[in-house]
Amino acid sequence: MAFRRPKYLVERTSRGYVVHLQREEAELVVRLLGELRGLILSDDPDTAPLLRRLFPPAYHLADDAEAEAEYQKYMREELVASRLASIEQVERSLTSREPLDEAGVQGFMQSLNAVRLVLGVLLDVGEEHDPAAVRDDDPMVGEHHLYAFLSWLLESTVQALSRQGT
């Protein structure tokens, strides 16, 4: 039996937000979220450039280094806890195929965007990024397609938030 894609990838229903992913797609997102969790919890300094987009500095000037250190000291733990809670909720929802409530769909968007941000840093994606322009022989072609898939899923979620429930 062939899988028929529903009218909307993410649908607002009376039970909550339903994400219509094929099993393999849901497993991929869950795996990516697990990798994101590992990255967030890593103390490897080599991961700092990837995490910079997830935890941007509040203070940018050299004179503000002390204020930035203070901000990171007090806020980083809270930001990490929030991201980890969202990841866990999304993993649970995708695995159980249960609808997301309002907070869950916000966490879904936050988590998807976090994966996109990290992948975007890895791929050096800019404003004019066009996945269709990536050549098939590019060594990162799969990652570019993954970035496009996550962008599509995020856009579908945003659209679901703007539609009336069914």
Question: What integer pLDDT is reported at residue 2 of this predicted model?
Answer: 54
Q: How far is CA 33 from CA 12, 59, 141, in A?
A: 23, 28, 20
Q: Of 29, 28, 152, 5, nearest to 89 (Cα)?
A: 29
Residue 120 lies in a domain: yes
8-state DSSP, 13: E
Residue 10 lies in a domain: no
Question: What integer pLDDT is reported at residue 48 of this predicted model?
Answer: 87
Mean pLDDT by 10 residues, the chain (166 residues): 68 92 94 96 90 85 86 86 94 92 94 94 84 84 92 94 70
Residue 2 lies in a domain: no
In this prediction the pTM is 0.85
Question: What integer pLDDT is reported at residue 1 of this predicted model?
Answer: 47
Q: What's the rounded Cα separation, in Å, for the pair 10 and 18?
A: 6
Q: How many domains does the chain have?
A: 1
Residue 6 lies in a domain: no
Residue 32 lies in a domain: no
Assign 16 to helix, strand or coil: strand
Question: What integer pLDDT is reported at residue 5 of this predicted model?
Answer: 62
The domain in which residue 102 lies consists of: 15-25+44-162
Adjacent-strand bridge partners of 12: 17
Residue 153 lies in a domain: yes
Q: What's the rounded Cα separation, in Å, for the pair 100 and 61?
A: 40
Residue 128 lies in a domain: yes
